[in-house]
């Protein structure tokens, strides 16, 4: 019996290099489209709001769910693996792409495509949030430059609220308050508080997610970073080395970023709203106390006499908490790594059209406007 001859050209798999070219070219095209979306968001706030609320919300939710099942921070693991990734990529460049200039250019084109993916994820999931309408516009607050008198009145009101919540707070001998439940329970209570806020304000994205504790929290403290939202993994990461009373507020801040509130002052203010909307007295206490620190700092710069007048009304437990934090932070206060990370963060924030690191402190304007709206 004669064996039929089969032309194998019809059964050859597609060339890997051709598939690679298609993928790289597709990423370049998507990057161009993304740049157009980014430009439209910068010049058209209404478009930025729409994109952030609907398209961006879907991207953020998808990333949060994809990484949410991992009990640790996937972004932190990627950061730790950077040296290994660098070695692997260098070895690949030398062994597979070092035979000709054409191969080198092809490798560089692929590497650029990989870097462009970070830009694409940034714009589609998070970056447009910097250019939409402000939180004060959404909340109908009259945000104006504040006087020392207004700062003093707001600080005094916050002290009163803190003292009310203190009835249910336990303090350690070193002065710090004690969070009376686990990290996972704190996460659940903050999500419940976010649900309350979502019922009040439609612009806040409803999302059930988790805070990721950072494994290397103690060394990370030298950077002065208490939390970070990694837009390319959709994770809200929390430095667990900081004192208990800072954790709920910082966690709520990073969860605000995860919900598309990009500006730092607005994320701080949303953290305050969320914490004080909680059914839990300790989380409410943390919300009032953390905002007080911002307002008191601004008051000290504006009028030190008024600052000390308010400080003299602070009771012993609250004063002890603030002193304990200052003593805790002294060991991390002056470090080279904090200066470097601070400069990087400041540059990044300025590139997004904000005032840089100063934007964190601008929450006091929102706090005063909120206090005045309560009258």
Per DSSP, which regions of the chain are E strands?
211-213, 227-230, 235-238
Query: Residue 76 corresponds to which tokens in the numbers above?
Result: 């932190």
Predicted confidence band of residue 345 (pLDDT cuts 50, 70, 90): confident
- What whole-number distance in Å separates Cα of residue 128 and Cα of residue 48? 5
Quick one: which of 321, 316, 333, 194 has its CA closest to 245? Answer: 321
Quick one: which of 184, 172, 351, 198 has its CA closest to 261? Answer: 198
Task: Please tell me what DSSP assigns to residue 171.
Answer: B
Predicted confidence band of residue 99 (pLDDT cuts 50, 70, 90): low
- Asked if 146 contacts 368 with a C-beta cutoff of 8 angstroms, the reply is yes
Predicted confidence band of residue 17 (pLDDT cuts 50, 70, 90): low
Predicted confidence band of residue 356 (pLDDT cuts 50, 70, 90): low
So what's the pLDDT on residue 365?
92
Q: What is the pLDDT of residues 136-155, one digit of tens each?
A: 999 999 888 889 999 999 99
Predicted confidence band of residue 238 (pLDDT cuts 50, 70, 90): very high
Burial class (CB in 10 A: 0-12, 13-18, 19+), 264: buried
Mean pLDDT across 249-261: 97
- What whole-number distance in Å separates Cα of residue 246 and Cα of residue 288? 11
State residue 93 phi and psi, 5-degree precision: -65, -40
So what's the pLDDT on residue 279?
97
Strand 227-230 and strand 211-213: pairing? unpaired
Quick one: which of 159, 158, 155 has its CA closest to 147? Answer: 155
Q: What is the pLDDT of residues 27-61, one digit of tens each?
A: 999 999 999 999 999 999 999 999 999 999 999 99
Q: What is the pLDDT of residues 57-90, one digit of tens each?
A: 999 999 999 999 999 999 999 999 988 888 887 7
The single residue listed with the structure tokens 């050859």 is 12
Mean pLDDT across 254-278: 97
Domain coordinates of the chain in residue numbers? 14-130, 136-373
């Amino acid at each position: 019996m004669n064996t039929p001859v089969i032309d194998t050209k019809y059964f050859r798999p597609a060339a890997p290099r051709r598939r690679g070219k298609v993928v790289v070219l597709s990423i370049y095209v998507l990057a161009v489209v993304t740049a157009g979306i980014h430009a439209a968001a910068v010049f058209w706030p209404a478009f930025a709001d729409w994109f952030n609320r609907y398209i961006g919300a879907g991207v953020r939710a998808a990333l949060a769910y994809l990484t949410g099942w991992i009990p640790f921070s996937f972004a932190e693991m990627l950061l730790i693996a950077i040296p290994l990734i660098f070695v692997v990529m260098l070895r690949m460049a030398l062994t597979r792409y070092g035979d000709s200039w054409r191969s080198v250019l092809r490798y560089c084109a692929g590497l650029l495509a990989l870097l462009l993916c970070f830009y694409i994820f940034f714009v589609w999931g998070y970056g447009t949030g910097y250019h939409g309408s402000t939180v004060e516009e959404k909340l109908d607050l009259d945000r104006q430059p504040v006087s020392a008198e207004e700062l003093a009145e707001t600080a005094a009101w916050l002290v009163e609220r803190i003292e009310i919540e203190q009835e249910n707070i336990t303090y350690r001998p070193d002065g710090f308050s004690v969070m009376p439940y686990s990290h996972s329970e704190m996460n659940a209570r903050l999500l419940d508080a976010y649900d309350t806020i979502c019922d009040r304000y439609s612009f806040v994205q409803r999302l059930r997610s988790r805070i990721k504790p950072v494994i290397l929290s103690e060394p990370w403290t030298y950077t002065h970073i208490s939390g970070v939202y990694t837009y390319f993994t959709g994770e809200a990461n929390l430095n667990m080395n900081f004192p208990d009373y800072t954790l709920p507020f910082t966690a709520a801040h990073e969860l605000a970023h995860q919900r598309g509130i990009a500006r730092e002052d607005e994320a701080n203010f949303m953290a305050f709203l969320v914490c004080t909307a909680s059914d839990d007295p300790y989380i409410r206490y943390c919300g009032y106390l953390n905002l007080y620190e911002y307002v008191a700092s601004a008051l000290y710069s504006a009028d030190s006499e008024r600052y000390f007048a308010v400080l003299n009304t602070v009771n012993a437990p609250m004063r002890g908490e603030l002193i304990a934090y200052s003593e805790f932070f002294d060991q991390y206060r002056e470090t080279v790594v904090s200066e470097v990370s601070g400069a990087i963060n400041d540059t990044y924030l300025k590139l997004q059209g904000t005032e840089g690191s100063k934007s964190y402190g601008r929450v006091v304007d929102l706090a005063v406007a909120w206090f005045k709206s309560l009258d």
